[in-house]
Structures are given as C-alpha cells and as structure tokens.
C-alpha cells in the first residue's frame, strides 16, 4: 500500500481529473513507470457483497484479542483508523464501526485477477504485495499506440468494471516518484509526474516520505536540521554520510535528487522469508519465548526447503509491550535452510536484546540474503549440519504425508494448541517479502 502524504496544492496540476479530456492531462512523455495500488483493498473486496455498508466505517480484522487492523475503508480512516493498528485502539477511535473478519482465500483470488489485467498491457509487472505493483509500460506504448496515462486510465476502468474495486495510479519516470504519486492520488485517482518536474514534486515533501526513512533515520535528519526532501537534496553528500551513515546517505541523496535507477523486475526472486507470532498476553518467560522462536524457525526453514532456497542472514523482530519494535540481524558463515541453525542464531539475538523483566508482545524470525540452495554458494561442511538437515528433511516428508502436526521437535510438544499465551490470530502463513 502506498504512503498517502497528500498532493500539495502547488502540484495540483499533476492530478488527472476524471472529467477532463486527455488533451488537458499533464505531459507523460518519458513516464514509463506506473505504480498501481488498490484502495483499502481488503475492505473493498469485502464490501463488494455488502453494498449496504459502503458509506459506513468498516474495519477488517481478526477476531483475536490482540489482532490488528488488516484494512479500514475511507469512512473509518476519517476517524484515524489505520492498517496494522491494534483493534483495541481502532475501537476507541471508531466504536461504531462495522467489524468484519477476513474471508479466507478471496483476497488472493482477486489479486491474481487484477495482476492478470496488468499483464495484458505489459509483461513487465513487479508485484509488491497482493494489492500493489509496479508496471513498466515504456516498451508497450508503440505496440498499443497509446500513452502511459491512457494505460493507467484504462486499467482503473477495467478493475472497477470487472472486479468492483478502485485503485490509484502514480505515473513517473522512476519507481520512487511513481509510488509516492499513487499515494497522493488516493483514493481512486491518478497523478502524473513529468520527467522535468520530479524534483519539484519531491522537494516540498517531508523527509519521512523518502524510501528507507524510519523513525530513527527521521530523527537523525531532523536533529541535523533536514526536514524536507529539498533539504536532503541540497546537503553535501559528505555531510549526509556523517548524519545517517555512508550507504544510507548515498541512497537518500540520490532519491532526493530524483535518481532511482531500479528497473521494474517481473517475478523478482524472493528477498526474504519470515514468520511472526503475536501473544495473547505480553510474555516474559524465557522458556515460552524460546519455544515460540523455535517454532518460528521451524516454519521458516520448512518453507525455505520447499522453495529450494537458503539464506545467510537471520533477522529477529521483537515488539515489546509498549509497542516499541526492534529488529536485529546476524549473518551466518554460510547459507542454510536448517531450522536448528536459524533457531540458534535467533535465540542468541533474542538473549542479547531482551533484558530481564521485559515483556514481549510479538516475535518474528526472518531469513534474508536468499539464493537457490544449489545455486553455487557453499554450504556448511561441518559434521553437524548434514545430520540436522537430514532429520528435518525426514520430518518434512512425514508432515507432507500425515499432516503438519505429525512431527515436531520435542521442545515444542509441551506447547498445547490451546496454550493461552499464543494469539488466536496466529500470523500463520509464512510471508514472503519482495
């Protein structure tokens, strides 16, 4: 989902009004990248069969006591409700909203159909999630005898007519600007950023709009007096490196000046695989946390093996009771798809970053730096790794044949399926980040 920062009044001419002729649209010559983002996707899909709720605040969320908001329609957003917000907080902001539980499977169905519409215009489609994607249409313009903005308008019309939901489209010469533009087009709009106006478009925006700027980087930039993208663009690269580090400084300086060389990559390989778990009750018992971490490592490793992948970096995500969230990572000596190794690394990271008495709301494990297991990178050759992998492969076979609960590590056998410390809204599916 795109970040909606709102289109500044001075840039209002970049928005395409629905009642204007194409001849009055902004010049989209050289704007080969489209970012298309469904509007309040999960809520919109649910409302297709609940038209009586369209004008009411609607929130899609799990039923567990510690669930978070999956999606909120725009009437609910007017009360401050946002995706990923705890349901308890959403209820305080909008107690009169209609709460719907997610309909399993339907979102993937609609997403697949929407992506198929994109593919009719260009083979260069890079999905970012179920509800958004980049398209490179530069090679399709001559074949279709059209323009980027006309393609965007036709896709919007097709999705509304065929699937009953709306989307917003950002059109620009580079991915970063296109993604920001789609956020500013929301809901159900389209914004074009001509090549000659990329800096004009970016510079009034706050530094938080830059890709990769989280709370910590934002605070560092603000301490240095850098509050807008224009400030970052005007800052000498050497100073920016001192403020946020060499790699981040170069990245932000390039983006602030409108430089984004990343191509649209269709079917880009998985960059990471992870799983996470929210607890029903904030948890501080090291044994419980360790068992949960072990279970997450098992899930991630099994998915890696199923996909023929292995990774080199283990990342642990920890959300404390006060909602402070940290991620910590460590690289392994060689790539792995073995749960035993992933767990050992994750446990070390957990112990190093959670003090005695700390209460934890959520734990996550992710493996990054993925590559094909047989793709040429050396695996570990010590005596233990093959034995652990053989045991886990045997467990995979048993689970495939007899079900997911057929084989579990002994340390997890004490973990009852009704254990009250776990969330009823388990994040369940191992997620793939792109």
| End-of-domain residue from the set 165, 194, 223 | 194
At 279, give phi and psi (nearest 5°).
-90, 145
Residues 130 and 222 both lie in one domain: no
> What's residue 426's pLDDT?
40
Closest CA to 170 of 159, 178, 161: 178
Question: Which has the minimum average pLDDT: 70-74, 225-229, 300-304, 332-336?
Answer: 332-336
Question: Can you give the CATH number for the domain in which 92 is found?
Answer: 3.30.70.270
Which residue numbers are catalytic? 132
Closest CA to 230 of 209, 249, 251, 207: 207
The pLDDT of 73-91, averaged and rounded, is: 93
Q: What is the rounded distance in angstroms from the CA atom of residue 95 to the CA atom of residue 114?
A: 33
The pLDDT of 370-381, averaged and rounded, is: 61
pTM of the model: 0.70
- Give the DSSP per-residue string, 311-369: EEEEEEEEEETTS-EEEEEEEEEEEE--HHHHHHHHHHHHHHH--TT--EEEEEEEEES
- 293 lies in a domain? yes
Q: Omega of the bond prior to 190 within 30 degrees of 0, cis?
A: no
Residues 244 and 277 both lie in one domain: no
Residue bearing the bigger pLDDT, 400 or 107: 107
pLDDT digits (tens, 9 = 90+) for 189-214: 999 999 999 999 999 999 999 988 88
Residues 78 and 49 both lie in one domain: yes
Residues 251 and 165 both lie in one domain: no
Residues 143 and 249 both lie in one domain: no
Residues 42 and 181 both lie in one domain: yes
Residue bearing the bigger pLDDT, 427 or 342: 342
Question: Can you give the CATH number for the domain in which 249 is found?
Answer: 1.10.150.20
CA distances from 282 to 89, 285, 416 (A): 17, 10, 18
Q: Which letter does DSSP use for residue 422 in this model?
A: B
In this structure, the strands spanning 98-100 and 58-61 are: parallel
- 146 lies in a domain? yes
Question: Which has the minimum average pLDDT: 79-83, 356-360, 405-409?
Answer: 405-409
**Three-class secondary structure of residue 276 per DSSP:** strand
CA distances from 118 to 27, 29, 35, 138, 225 (A): 22, 20, 11, 14, 42
Residues 154 and 293 both lie in one domain: no
Residues 237 and 322 both lie in one domain: no
Query: Given pLDDT bands bounded at 50, 70 and 90, which one contains residue 6?
Result: low
- 297 lies in a domain? yes
β-partners of residue 192 are: 171
- State yes or no: pLDDT of 432 exceeds 50: no
Residues 207 and 81 both lie in one domain: no
Residues 216 and 98 both lie in one domain: no
- 252 lies in a domain? yes
Residue 169's domain comprises: 1-194
The pLDDT of 73-88, averaged and rounded, is: 93
Query: Given pLDDT bands bounded at 50, 70 and 90, which one contains residue 143?
Result: confident
Residues 187 and 218 both lie in one domain: no
pLDDT digits (tens, 9 = 90+) for 408-426: 555 544 444 434 344 433 4
**Three-class secondary structure of residue 387 per DSSP:** helix
> What's residue 221's pLDDT?
95
Q: Are 182 and 4 in contact (CB under 8 A)?
A: no
- 371 lies in a domain? yes
- 265 lies in a domain? no
β-partners of residue 168 are: 37
Query: Given pLDDT bands bounded at 50, 70 and 90, which one contains residue 397?
Result: low
- 266 lies in a domain? no
- 263 lies in a domain? no
At 60, give phi and psi (nearest 5°).
-100, 125
The four Cα atoms 181, 184, 187, 191 give a dihedral, to 10 degrees, of -40
> What's residue 227's pLDDT?
96
The b-or-e profile of 318-337 (16+ CB within 10 A means b, else e) is: bbbeeeeeeeebeebeebbb
> What's residue 313's pLDDT?
92
Residues 239 and 337 both lie in one domain: no
Task: Indicate the number of domains in the chain.
Answer: 3
Question: Can you give the CATH number for the domain in which 290 is found?
Answer: 3.30.1490.100
């Amino acid at each position: 989902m795109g970040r909606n920062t709102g289109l500044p009044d001075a840039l209002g001419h970049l928005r395409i009004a629905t009642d204007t002729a194409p001849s009055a649209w902004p010049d989209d010559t050289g704007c080969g990248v489209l970012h298309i983002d469904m509007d309040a996707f999960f809520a919109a899909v649910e409302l297709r069969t609940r038209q009586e709720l369209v004008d009411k605040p609607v929130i899609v969320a799990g039923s567990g006591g510690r669930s978070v908001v999956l999606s909120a329609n725009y009437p609910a957003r007017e009360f401050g409700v946002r995706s990923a917000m705890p349901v308890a907080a959403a209820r305080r902001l909008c107690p009169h909203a209609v709460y719907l539980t997610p309909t399993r499977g339907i979102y993937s169905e609609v997403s697949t159909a929407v992506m198929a519409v994109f593919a009719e215009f260009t083979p260069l489609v890079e999905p970012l999630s179920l509800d958004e994607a980049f398209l490179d249409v530069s090679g399709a313009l001559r074949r279709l005898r059209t323009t980027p903005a006309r393609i965007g308008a036709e896709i919007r019309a097709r999705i509304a007519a065929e699937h009953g939901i709306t989307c917003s489209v950002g059109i620009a010469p580079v991915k970063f600007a296109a993604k920001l533009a789609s956020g500013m087009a929301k809901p159900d709009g389209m914004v074009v950023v001509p090549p000659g106006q990329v800096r004009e478009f970016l510079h009034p925006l706050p530094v938080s709009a830059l890709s990769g700027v989280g709370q910590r980087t934002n605070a560092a930039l603000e301490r240095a007096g850098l509050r807008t993208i224009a400030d970052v663009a005007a800052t000498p690269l050497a100073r920016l490196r001192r403020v946020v580090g060499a790699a981040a400084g170069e990245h932000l300086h390039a983006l602030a000046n409108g430089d984004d060389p990343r191509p649209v990559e269709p079917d880009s390989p998985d960059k990471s695989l992870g799983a996470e778990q929210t607890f029903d009750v904030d948890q501080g018992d090291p044994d419980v946390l360790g068992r949960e971490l072990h279970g997450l490592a098992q899930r991630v490793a099994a998915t890696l093996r199923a996909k023929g992948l292995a990774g080199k970096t283990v990342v642990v995500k920890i959300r404390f009771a006060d909602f402070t969230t940290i991620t910590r990572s460590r690289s392994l000596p060689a790539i792995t798809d073995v749960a035993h190794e992933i767990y050992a690394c994750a446990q070390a990271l957990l112990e190093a970053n959670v003090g005695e008495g700390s209460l934890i709301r959520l734990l996550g494990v992710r493996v990054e730096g993925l590559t094909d297991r047989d793709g040429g990178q050396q695996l570990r050759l010590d005596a233990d790794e093959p034995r652990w992998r053989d045991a886990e492969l045997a467990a995979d076979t048993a689970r495939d044949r007899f079900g997911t609960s057929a084989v579990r590590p002994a340390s997890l056998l004490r973990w009852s399926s009704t254990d009250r410390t776990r969330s009823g809204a388990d994040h369940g599916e191992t997620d793939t980040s792109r």
